[in-house]
Amino acid sequence: MIKPKVLVTGGAGFIGSGLCEKLIADGNEVVAIDDLSTGKLSNLDGIKSNPVFTFVEGSVRDESLMKTLIKNCDTVYHLAAAVGVNLIVEKPVHTIETNIGGTEVVLAAANKFGKKVLITSTSEVYGKNEKVPFCEDDDTVLGSTRFSRWSYACSKAIDEFLGFAYHRQYDLPVIVVRLFNTIGPRQTGQYGMVVPRFVKWAIKNEPISIYGDGKQSRCFSYVGDVVDAMARLAQAKNTAGKVFNIGSQEEITIEQLADKIIAGTNSKSKKEFIPYEKAYGQAFDDMNRRLPCLERIKEAIGFEPSKNLDDTLDIIIADIRTDLE
């Protein structure tokens, strides 16, 4: 039997590599493309020798390459993007060009060859909307354009607009998923991801730096649940032309997260609070809460998170301890 062939952009990233593993386990032949700007080849160690897996080092903005790869696949999972608050603040031009330009290339090639596309977006597109939980059709409320942190939200919103435009104008099967703070093994704190940074500091008994007052809340999702949901949404009927939240509804403040990680690592770390201006070198506009409504994805695929935050943190702590040994 011929295996379905799928393409994962950003396949060497922490989420992308997990998705590649999931898709192979589900019986697919997988091709991953990544420019390794934020992804790592070591994330693919578990599958790189598998005969049904191929890795291509390259950019999603390479039109010729993407046409070749997309022509020869059945479904495209488009994860490649500039991510992480630090990277977004430090390189806003790179963020905008990578996110919008890459998605333009992917959608144009997918449309040329009639391929299904799942686009990963972000909870950031809800911006400063204070209506929680966030439902997929709620308004986007963004801050001033002088805050570069909103460039990421805007670029991903444009990705969504473009995807739905292709769906409406050309009937291209496009699905959009908005991810809410995905965490798990292999995630790096290099670009500002909060959980791996807190865990590393706690294990080393170093001060845990909390940006702002720590009262901002988030819902953290286990990467295994996220990639499972993405794979199921891409295969489900009646999901094209729709956007789905993927996340957890277990809300926690950043200060509470630090306390939980300190307790979970038996750490002697102390908390320190750092103003956003000092942390990022410029004024910073943040979201107070990020809580997803999950009714749509539950109706579509019966989604329920399999792991709570405590279980997920245990997995991450064990993984980072191993890396630090």
Three-state DSSP class for residue 224: helix
Known catalytic residue: 211? no
Cα 176 to Cα 242: distance, rounded to the nearest angstrom: 6
10 Å CB burial of residue 39 (0-12, 13-18, 19+) is: buried
Alpha helices in the chain (DSSP H): 14-25, 63-71, 85-90, 92-113, 149-170, 194-203, 223-235, 254-264, 276-280, 295-301, 309-324
Cα 304 to Cα 229: distance, rounded to the nearest angstrom: 9
Cβ proximity of 227 and 22 under 8 Å = yes
Alpha-carbon 273 to chain mean position: 26
Cα 63 to Cα 48: distance, rounded to the nearest angstrom: 25
Three-state DSSP class for residue 84: coil
- Among the listed residues 152, 166, 211, 222, the single catalytic one is 152
Token pair 């794979």 is found at 231
Structure tokens at 198: 């807190």
- Active site members: 152
